[in-house]
Structures are given as structure tokens and as C-alpha cells.
Amino acid sequence: MSHQTGIHANEELRKFFGKCRDGNTRAVKVCIKNEQLALSKSVDELKDNSWDKNFDKLVIPLVEENQPCYILYRLDTKNEMGYEWLFISWSPDTSPIREKMLYASTKATLKQEFGTAQIKEEVHGTIVSDITLEGYKKYKKAVSSPAPLTTREEELQELKRNELHTDYGVDSKHQTLSGVVFPITESAKQAILDMARGSYDYVQFRIDIEEEKIHLVSAENLNIEKLPSKVPDNAARYHLYKFKHTHEGDYMENIVFIYSMPGYSCSIKERMLYSSCNNPFTDIISNLGLEIAKKLQIDSGSELTEESLYEEIHPTKNLHRPKFAKPKGPPGRGPKRMTKTQPN
């Protein structure tokens, strides 16, 4: 996995991570200091209490109004690696844009340094109510509930009920009026879910023509300058990219779906399958909780620049349209004539 910032944990934090999993530590706050991930504060377990009893009492004092940070909160459940932890990414709206982008692009590094296998869930907070116990419960409820259907998804559902029975998922393949729905592998599905949780900025997929399945190619954190190099010049691909930028003073993160097809270097069958699977695949992505802001089709990676993505998401509006001008009459037709009506 590549990392956008190159920031890693300092020696003190690494040593602390090695000993904080014994059940005596309940919460850990990590900040970025001197271009390193550093331990800011740790909170020991309070006696005779389950994880939720003192959640608000321990977590809320750790955050500052204008300063992003990471918080690791130990749950009471265990897996084969030991205790499971809740990862809280605190990035208040009032913090500087550069700070928010720095913490967003370093998050995956911290999770890897701590141990991704021990992180059970992840919560992102911009206001205090997001990271309270009640906010955490709302997040869990939202994740477990099915995403609201778009108009297109409702149409597909209606077709499924009445005509084509086009229920699609990870392990099924069907022919629909809108295209071919190929099943996606579990690793591809997990990468989409991880991206929705903020673990990755970039994910790439390919269609295995023989298996007729959509496979994961790569999932990583990637800056905009390296994005064009990820587009193959001899094979079609699907890409998801989280475009981080500012618009009218606001920091924004938009998911862009990119369908790359390098012309006739691909076989006719490959071109047809990628084209037919395009819309059904984006429907599956949306159903998995990842909202796509823009869909693009490109021939080569050189088309993916920061300026082009910005213009696709925020197209320039022409506010000064010229008024309709009545065309001039034919030249040399002479003065207008007055026609006098004769009395009966």
C-alpha cells in the first residue's frame, strides 16, 4: 500500500502500541507532530465498567475544537488477535483545510501501524455529536440499514418483481435491459466497503472475461499526480477515486467512477463487456454505500488531471447568456410599405 504523506509513527508510539493491548488501556489519542504520528494521551481502564459506560466521559475530553486527531477506543470484544478497537477520525469543520487533508491522507498509515486486524469499526466525526455514544449507535444503525434506492435502482427492482427477476449480488449473474450484471468477488466488495469507510482513496477493478466476474486489482491511497499512471494503456479497467479539493472555500471529497478503455488495443468482446457492465456495476457500488459524484469515460490516463476532475464536478456556469437577437431582414428590400384597406 502506498501512502500520500510519507508520515509514520515515531518510536515512542510504536513502543506504546506494542504494550497497550493488554486490557489496561481504554483510549489512545494520536496526533501528527513534527511530521510524525505521535502519542498525545492515553486513558487507562476504569474499574468495573464495560466499554460503553464511560464512552462519552473518556472520548469527548480528548478532542479539541479546531484540531484534527485520531482516537483508538478499546471495545470489550475480542478476535484471534486480541481486543477489538474502535477507530475514531476527528476532523472538525473549523480546522484548517491543510490539516484536514493531512490527517485524511495519513489515516491508513496509522491503521496499518496499529494493526488493521484489530480495528473492528471506524467512525468519522466533524462535530462532537458524531463521536458520542449516541452518535456511534446511529452510525452502526445507518451502516446496518440498506441504503435508500435511487430512481434507477427502483426501476431495476420493479423489473425484478414483474419481469426479469434481476436480483444481483456478489455470487449471481443476470442479463438485464440495462446491461450485463457480473458478480463481484468478495475482495472487490470489501475494497468498496473499506473505501466507503475512508480506508482508501483509490480502487481499481478488472473483468475476468473467462470467469465473467469483476475482480479487485488494487486498493491504496494515491495523490492526484500519480492517478494517470494507474490507467493501463492496453486493457480496460474500472476505477474509483476520492478527489480531495476545495471549492468556494470548502474542503470537499467526491468519489469519481472512471471507466478507462484504451481504444482498439482491446478486443471487441472486452469492449462490449466493459460497456455493458458499466451501469450495473455502479449500481452495485451505490448499494454498498459508496456515493458516486461523477462518472467518467476516458481513453488514457493523461485525461485525469486535477483541473479536469474539478471541472467535471464543478462545471463552469455561463451566467451571461446573450439575449436573443432578432435576425436582420434581407438587404435591399426597400422601405416598408403601408397597405391601405379600401372601403367596401
pLDDT in tens, 303-326: 999 999 999 999 876 545 555 555
Q: Please, are residues 285 and 188 in contact by the beta-carbon 8 Å criterion? A: no
Alpha carbons within 13 A on the beta-carbon side of 96 = 3
pLDDT band of 344, cuts 50, 70, 90:
low
Q: pTM higher than 0.75, yes or no?
A: no
Q: Please, are residues 34 and 11 in contact by the beta-carbon 8 Å criterion? A: no
Residue 318, pLDDT score: 55
> Which CATH code of 3.30.2350.10, 1.10.10.10, 3.40.20.10, 3.40.50.11030 fits the domain covering 151-313?
3.40.20.10
Q: Residue 282: is its pLDDT beyond 80?
A: yes
Residue 326, pLDDT score: 55
Domain boundaries, the chain: 11-144, 151-313
- pLDDT tens string 245-281: 888 777 889 999 999 999 777 888 888 889 889 899 9
- Contact residues for 84 (Cβ-Cβ < 8 A; gap 6+): 74, 75, 77, 78, 118, 119, 120
Q: Residue 36: is its pLDDT beyond 90?
A: yes
Interatomic CA distance for residues 335 and 332, integer angstroms: 9
Residue 93, pLDDT score: 84
CATH 3.40.20.10 fits 11-144, yes or no: yes
More confident residue, 128 or 168: 128
- pLDDT tens string 51-75: 998 899 999 999 998 999 999 999 9
Instruction: Note whether 11-144 and 151-313 share their fold.
Output: yes
